[in-house]
A = this chain, B = another copy of it.
């Protein structure tokens, strides 16, 4: 059964989940645990299938930002789950596509296991070789940074098959073992472990024929993670500036001009990042040819905005903001993951620069 929620309803539902996520975010960060209660709530929410059910990319992006405002780790893991789900249509076998969509609607979690330990940002260029077997291929190798992968039932993965990149949707069965590497600076609750695949089956029937002209949910969604973090940081800064009073005059921070300027700059950066993300999502909805470039640019601008805004909010909070008793230092740590996720600024700037200068064929409009 399809949901018939309006965009406004979806955003309201996201706000409801965001409150729930925010309550536990500090705990999951401290303990490096996955927000299971968020996952449970999400599995009972129409948000989980909104994209499958035809929500616009713009609404999807806004949902991501709202969730990220509550817990950026959960929003990231959920985005990876959604990104994998968006690829279900790429299953070559229609029966498998139907089955997997049903699984998804039943609450099965999907993980993105495309990154290889040595591949850097180039997650669409697997280097690990699979060997031909009856009914498909078998791969022994490792995939890293699989956000939420421990709780996934299925994985999108890849390997070199007969010299070509092959993409598959596989069962996360006993041949897949997680190695606990996830002790990071931030985004701690994603539990993005290293997965070891030991002669794992990549079934021919679960092969994906990726269509490069179709939007990539992860590319569309990533800017909105940073926007959510930036919103959370700015919200904190405003609240703190109003409450904190400084000796000797006991005036609120908010009355100092430098604080006013700082908050104004946060807002300006945030609005620029938001505007570009909105345009990126809108052009994706319209399938205009510049949308992939706008997605990359939206990510860079939003990543930078989140770091700048969270850092400025930390400066405003002073020493007390440096302690884990307040959320702002977590926002800084989470924000700093932005440029590290694919595609990195270096990959983006290289690609974009070459495209604009006509070195990759026709430049974007």
A319 in the interface (beta carbon within 8 A)? yes
How many residues of chain A are within 8 Å of chain B by beta carbon? 84
B residues in contact with A271, CB < 8 Å? 276, 279, 294, 297
Q: Are B322 and A264 in contact (CB under 8 A)?
A: no
Number of copies: 4
Q: A185-B322, A294-B271 are in contact. Are A254 and B359 (CB under 8 A)?
A: yes
Subset of 29 A-B contacts with CB under 8 Å = A115-B319, A118-B245, A120-B246, A127-B247, A144-B319, A145-B319, A181-B325, A184-B323, A185-B329, A185-B333, A242-B357, A257-B353, A258-B261, A258-B350, A260-B359, A261-B349, A261-B350, A263-B357, A264-B356, A267-B293, A267-B297, A271-B294, A272-B273, A275-B279, A307-B311, A311-B336, A315-B340, A315-B346, A322-B336
Q: A247-B118, A257-B256, A297-B268 are in contact. Are A186 and B322 (CB under 8 A)?
A: yes
Q: Are A350 and B257 in contact (CB under 8 A)?
A: yes
Please name the residue on chain B nearest to A268 by beta carbon.
B297
B residues in contact with A324, CB < 8 Å? 183-185
A321 in the interface (beta carbon within 8 A)? yes
Q: A273-B272, A319-B145 are in contact. Are A125 and B300 (CB under 8 A)?
A: no
B residues in contact with A263, CB < 8 Å? 352-353, 356-357
Quick one: CB contact mask for A309-348 with B, threshold 8 Å, 1 for yes? 0010011001101111100010011001101110011101
Which of A262, A279, A300, A322: most chain B Cβ within 10 A? Answer: A322
What's the nearest-Cβ distance from chain B to residue A326, in Å?
Answer: 10
B residues in contact with A264, CB < 8 Å? 348-353, 356
Which residues between 148 and 192 of chain A lie within 8 Å of chain B, taking CB atoms? 181-187
Q: Are A247 and B311 in contact (CB under 8 A)?
A: no
User: Which residues from chain A sit less than 8 Å from chain B, CB to CB?
Assistant: 115, 118-122, 125, 127, 144-145, 181-187, 238, 241-242, 245-248, 254-265, 267-268, 271-276, 278-279, 293-294, 297, 300-301, 307, 311, 314-315, 318-319, 321-325, 329, 332-333, 336-337, 339-341, 344-346, 348-354, 356-359
B residues in contact with A321, CB < 8 Å? 340
B residues in contact with A315, CB < 8 Å? 339-340, 344-346
The answer for the CA separation of A238 and B363 in the assembled complex, in Å, is 11
The answer for the CA separation of A294 and B241 in the assembled complex, in Å, is 22
The answer for the CA separation of A254 and B360 in the assembled complex, in Å, is 12
- Which of B119, B186, B357 contacts A238, CB < 8 Å? B357
